[in-house]
Amino acid sequence: MTDLKQQIIAIAKEIGISKIGFTTADNFDYLKKTLTRAQEAGTNSGFEHKNIEERVDPKLLLANAKTIIAIAVAYPNKLPQMPEKSTYKRGKFSPSSWGIDYHDILAGKMSLLAERISELTDEFDHKAMVDTGALVDTAVARRAGIGFIGKSGLVISKEFGSYMFLGELITNLDIEPDSPVDYGCGDCERCVTFCPTDALNGDTTMNAKRCLSFQTQKTGYIDEEFRIKTKSVLYGCDICQIVCPYNKGINSEPQTPIDPELSYPELQPFIKLTNKEFKEKFGEIAGSWRGKNVLQRNAIFVLANLNDKTAIPLLEEIAANPQNAVHQEAAQWALDKLKRTDKRNRPLKKSIERGKLK
């Protein structure tokens, strides 16, 4: 099946898949202990597939599975163009949410890849999945030679760093597997050191509930510690990626056009969006899956973090409205923070006005 493998690799390149690898459909039983421990301790995000047996055994997902084709699609971490200056301060969506939702991008590429493979061989059977599927994408990608799993828990390759979206096709094809890469983190622990919430354990595992990316997606109220540490981010967290040496100098071309006004939205207009306006403007990006309310709650926190006193009238309006208790509480917290800052600065301002400080 060597010719088939090379044909699949050529097709993948042709349709814009950044990296492709092949591994057996053998089980991933070594993960069971870690997955069970995280589930029992409550340190997983809760977004994962609940059936651990299906997470570690591809044959429970496709009975005649023989080979898993792992794919990676690289994405940019720097905007092609920054948004224009405005009178409002801006928040930020993480790069994984720039452009069209990566689930749609990956699903489209895997569908096209499967369609093209079916033209090459008879009786092709497969099951495709992205990170909402059962298998642990990082484990599949590592075994298929896409990259290694770093201490951040992300798959990292020399070509694209950790800025890759992952997906896989479980297939009934009999294809020679690839080998895992021969490089890794070594002694580097920059991601562990710089993680602002100490979410990383340093052994590729993490307490997902302490990750800022999880906190920006969590519904309801969140602890003050996380509100402050999100700084200007509305969705996601990239600190472990920013500090990773493998990501230095890497910035891939976007798969779809990126609107800088959606990547760095003006906060006050964003908070005023109706459901209809939000869906029309932001509905195609990955971060929109959590809905308007969670992201607007985050935007309220960011206004306080950026010390945006021009937002006080808007925050007072939200704080006086009991219709959304989460937003009301967030606005009151932001107002308290902004007014505390104002009180601390007032004596200094008066001294400057009186000419006592120059």
Q: What is the pLDDT of residue 342?
A: 64
pLDDT tens-digit map of 6-49: 999 999 999 999 999 999 999 999 999 999 999 999 999 988 99
Q: What is the pLDDT of residue 348?
A: 40
Strands, DSSP E only, in the chain?
Answer: 19-24, 67-74, 92-93, 126-129, 148-149, 155-156, 164-171, 233-235
Q: What is the pLDDT of residue 254?
A: 95
Whole-prediction pTM value? 0.92
List 26, 125, 131, 178, catalytic entry? 131
The string over 169-202, giving b where at least 16 C-beta atoms fall within 10 Å of a residue's C-beta and e elsewhere, is bbbbbebebbebbeeebeeeebbbeebbbebbee
Sign of the C-alpha dihedral, residues 166, 171, 173, 176?
Answer: positive
Q: Give how far Cα 186 sits from Cα of 43, 159, 163, 183, Å.
A: 26, 18, 19, 8
For residue 141, what are the contacts with CB-CB under 8 A and spacing of at least 6? 21, 70, 72, 147, 155, 166, 168
Type of residue found at 36: T
Q: What is the pLDDT of residue 176?
A: 97
- Which residue reads 């760095």 in tokens? 264
Q: What is the pLDDT of residue 132?
A: 80
Residues lower than pLDDT 50 in the chain: 347-358
pLDDT tens-digit map of 198-257: 999 999 999 999 999 999 999 999 999 999 999 999 999 999 999 999 999 999 999 999
**Cβ atoms 191, 150 nearer than 8 A:** yes
Q: What is the pLDDT of residue 340?
A: 87
Q: What is the pLDDT of residue 347?
A: 47
For residue 12, what are the contacts with CB-CB under 8 A and spacing of at least 6? 20, 71, 113
Q: Is 198 a catalytic residue?
A: no
For residue 352, what are the contacts with CB-CB under 8 A and spacing of at least 6? none
